[in-house]
Amino acid sequence: MKSTENKIIHPLENAGVPEDQRHLYCDASPRPYPALNKYVERFLNWARANSLWILGYGTGCGAIELRPLLTSRFDISQYGMNPRPTPRQSSVFIIGGYLSVKTLKRVIRSYEQMQNPKFVVGLGSCTVNGGMYWDSYNTVNRLDYYLPVDVYVAGCMPRPEAIIAGFEKLKSTIMAGQAEGANEYAERFDWYKSNQKKIIKDWDMPDYNW
Amino acid sequence: MNSLIKRLKMQFDVEEQTQRSNLSFINATALQLPALLTHLRDYEKYTQLIFLTAVDRIEDNQFQLTYMLADESSQNNIGVRVRIDRENAVMTSIAHLWHHARTYQQELREMFGIDFPGSPGVNDNFILEGWEEIPPMRRDFDTREYSEKTYFPRPGRSTTHPRTAMKAVDPDYPELPLMKGRVK
Ligand code: SF4
């Protein structure tokens, strides 16, 4: 595909949805939110880091380790984390393993529906570099070309202890005010979009799924 | 099983290969196939279609389709193999015999490019959405090359394939013909 075809036009033209429905969708691209007053921001970051609500995306095999993590054996709620059923209520997006082109499309839709600030955790080698499916015709190799990833947990598959360590890392990044994934997504929106559109050939959804 | 094969040979022009006492394969021609499957289903109690799959016999310029049927009562399985032309890959649909065959046929259409005219929804997307290359399960499709040019590979990948790992400790370790040209 020629690079010119992936050019992102502002306001978003939403060419993927039928013409008579375009007025139903938002045509504004996301914008970054600057940090507030230092002390307020510090308080907010403390609060964010201690109530992480999870949206789990578990179609990859690595997501099997999320079940013991969420249930009594490792009991993630003792760390102030909680699984939520919808993207709108969640702040951490856990990508549990490999993504194909088809699942990446759903992941993008879900990510864009989450409210700021939002964080992405990639589980397993598959999200890092494609893992054992690196040369597949259908498997996305590196997640950070399509979504801003805050923490990667390597391993195939990572044990619950490793995932907990990953969340501790995420918490300290948030506390330090460095988990700026949502702002980065807004700032480099064109770059992320053109990467996404390069591999998702039948783009039949709005350009920004808010 | 043997008596079944005997009975089949009286009616159809088939060759058989018995693998186990409860598993046989028969090679049939594409023209005979609907009649043969109907016969097996309606007269020989092979009422279940377990799977329908394809093999790309690129050396012979053919696709081989395997229809695996099961007889629940006797626990016998029979596989019916059919070769079809690879260039003009069209096969008769069997969706009227087993409704779920449409899913297999839809998948084969997408993954191998084998057409089953008349099969419901055969041209709909199955797993791939917006695929623009030749069907990915055809053996002349280079999946690694496609992946490298499409999916932004992360540099610095190393392998622990036994061949390369053993070469490092023992320079005399023989080259394996296995997976030639696939491993760096
Ligand atoms: S990294 Fe391993 S366990 Fe995780 S999704 Fe990939 S193959 Fe499965």
B128 near A102, Cβ under 8 Å? yes
Average pLDDT, chain A: 88
A3: pLDDT strictly greater than 60: no
Task: Return the residue of B nearest to A128 by Cα.
Answer: B154
Q: For residues A15 and B33, which has the higher predicted lDDT (pLDDT)?
A: B33
pLDDT value for B180: 47
Amino acid at A97: G
B132: pLDDT strictly greater than 90: no
B102 near B95, Cβ under 8 Å? yes
So what CATH class is B2-129? alpha beta
| Ligand 1 pocket residues where CB is under 6 Å | A 60-62, 97-98, 124-126, 131-132, 156-157
Q: Kindly list the domain boundaries of chain A, sorted by start residue.
A: 19-199
A105 touches chain B (CB under 8 A): yes
CATH level 2 (architecture), domain A19-199: 3-Layer(aba) Sandwich (3.40)
A152 strand-pairing partners: A122
The predicted-structure confidence for A85-116, as pLDDT tens digits, reads as follows 899 999 999 998 899 999 999 999 999 999 98
Sheet with A52-57, strands from edge to edge, namely A81-83, A52-57, A92-96, A119-123, A151-153
B184: pLDDT strictly greater than 70: no
Q: What is the mean pLDDT of residues B62-83?
A: 94
Q: Kindly list the domain boundaries of chain B, sorted by start residue.
A: 2-129
Do residue B127 and residue A200 have CB atoms under 8 angstroms apart?
no
What ipTM did this prediction achieve?
0.82
Q: What is the mean pLDDT of residues B156-166?
A: 75
The predicted-structure confidence for A192-209, as pLDDT tens digits, reads as follows 999 999 999 888 888 888
The predicted-structure confidence for A33-91, as pLDDT tens digits, reads as follows 888 888 999 999 999 999 899 998 888 888 888 888 888 889 888 888 888 889 999 99
Distance CA A102, CA B130 (A): 10
pLDDT value for A66: 87
